[in-house]
Amino acid sequence: MTTVDVNTGGYVGSRNFDDTIFKTNLEAAQTIARQLRLRNLGGIIIADFIDMADEEHKAAVLTEFNKALAHENTRITVSGFTQLGLIEMTRKRTRESLAHVLCEPCPTCGGRGQVKTAQTMCYEVLRELLREARQFTAREMRVLAAPSVIDLFFDEESQALAMLSEFIGLPISLHAESGYLQEQFDIVLM
């Protein structure tokens, strides 16, 4: 959902406050329509125009908005002013958004916007070690992971690693890979 809030930016006309609001809303109607088209915004769109008391002004702003949207080649539904003075509309997106075309997902987090902590990764490594020890036969297991994860295994999680090694009956060695991201790890069976 996209919301647009219209304001005067502190400008108040020299004569009539209502006239300034009306002119600002008329200008905003054209600008909003142009921005929707340029940014290829789709879905539910709410435009919060400056409150107008005069019903004729509301009708004129709505007419201007519909006229500005008439240049669109996409399906648009505008449902007039609500009781709160908002214009609700829907617009079908015609192509990928500009951000989608110009950008790519972050290679570290995969576009999620977050990376798992080193401690969380330690627990994932421990679970995977246990899973692989139950599934495969090996003489030793080697963990390849980011330095931050390996450092944590040598420090705070050393006891958990030792307990797991004793439980599965296999030695577990650790190797820091400087090229690994924090969420990457491999387990090598030897």
Rg (CA), the chain: 30
Cα(62)–Cα(76) distance, integer angstroms: 14
Q: Is 18 in the same domain as 94?
A: yes
pLDDT tens column, 155-182: 999 999 999 999 999 999 999 999 999 9
Lowest mean pLDDT among 82-86, 131-135, 159-163: 82-86
Q: Is 87 in the same domain as 158?
A: no
Taken in order 9, 12, 17, 21, the sign of the CA dihedral is negative
Decide if pLDDT at 71 tops 70.
yes
Q: What angle do CA 20, 24, 29 make, to 5 degrees?
A: 150
- Mean local confidence (pLDDT), 137-152: 96
Check: CB of residue 161 under 8 Å from CB of residue 172. yes
Owning domain of residue 90? 2-101
Q: How many structural domains does the chain have?
A: 2
Q: Find the farthest-apart pair of alpha carbons in the chain and give their distance in angstroms, rounded.
A: 89
Q: Is 35 in the same domain as 91?
A: yes
The predicted structure's pLDDT at residue 100: 72
Global confidence as pTM = 0.51
Count, residues in the chain: 190
Domain-located, residue 139: yes
